[in-house]
């Protein structure tokens, strides 16, 4: 036979969990003051995952990395293997135009369709 599994305590017939006295709270729990949770987290040794600006960005020197994430309704992922130069040019164009990466791809497809609509495709 196989190995015995460790008892995790689920479904143990000797557990008599009585929830008959359980009642929902009558009043909402008060929210902590602004910044209080951050101070408590720092005191407990937790580190924030929020990106912190570098010293040059904090001082206003250098270029800030553009934020490309937006709520757009685009929800399908499309992965390609391309050369690094292609990615750099694509991102530079998107940044220059102020477009997101998905929007840039959509505009590129529109332009390609306009240019090559007659090639290999019957006219509607």
Task: Output b/e per residue, 20-53; b: 16+ Cβ within 10 A.
Answer: eeeeeeeeeeeeeeeeeeeeeeeeeeeeeeeeee
- Full residue range of the structural domain in which residue 124 is found: 76-124
End-to-end CA distance of the chain: 69
Torsion from C-alpha of 103, 104, 110, 115, nearest 10 degrees:
180
Q: Is residue 93, in this structure, part of any structural domain at all?
A: yes
Q: Is residue 107, in this structure, part of any structural domain at all?
A: yes
Kindly tell me if the per-residue pLDDT of 118 is higher than 80: no
Q: Is residue 94, in this structure, part of any structural domain at all?
A: yes
Q: Is residue 116, in this structure, part of any structural domain at all?
A: yes
pLDDT of res. 2 = 64
Kindly tell me if the per-residue pLDDT of 124 is higher than 80: no
Angstrom distance (rounded) from CA 92 to CA 112? 19
Q: Is residue 60, in this structure, part of any structural domain at all?
A: no
Q: Is residue 101, in this structure, part of any structural domain at all?
A: yes
Q: Is residue 112, in this structure, part of any structural domain at all?
A: yes
Angstrom distance (rounded) from CA 57 to CA 98? 20
- Assess contact for 9 and 15: CB atoms under 8 A: yes
Q: Is residue 16, in this structure, part of any structural domain at all?
A: no
* pLDDT 10s digits, 62-112: 566 666 667 778 888 889 999 999 999 999 999 999 998 999 999 999 999
Q: By C-alpha distance, which of 68, 62, 122 is closest to 100?
A: 68
Q: pLDDT confidence of 13, banded at 50, 70, 90?
A: low
Query: What pTM was computed for the model?
Result: 0.42
* pLDDT 10s digits, 20-68: 888 888 888 889 998 898 899 989 999 888 777 765 555 555 566 666 6
pLDDT of res. 20 = 84
Sequence-distant contacts of 101-106: CB under 8 A, at least 24 apart: 101/68, 102/72, 102/74, 103/72, 105/78
- Number of structural domains in the chain: 1
């Amino acid at each position: 036979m196989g190995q015995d599994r460790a008892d995790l305590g689920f479904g143990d017939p000797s557990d008599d969990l009585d929830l008959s006295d359980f009642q929902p709270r009558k009043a909402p729990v008060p929210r902590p003051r602004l910044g209080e949770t951050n101070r408590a987290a720092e005191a407990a040794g937790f580190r924030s995952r929020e990106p912190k600006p570098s010293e040059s960005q904090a001082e206003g020197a250098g270029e800030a990395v553009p934020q490309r994430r937006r709520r757009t309704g685009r929800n399908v992922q499309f992965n390609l293997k391309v050369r690094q130069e292609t990615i750099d040019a694509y991102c530079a164009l998107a940044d220059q135009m102020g477009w997101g990466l998905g929007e840039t791809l959509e505009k590129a497809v529109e332009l390609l369709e306009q240019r090559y609509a007659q090639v290999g495709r019957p006219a509607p």
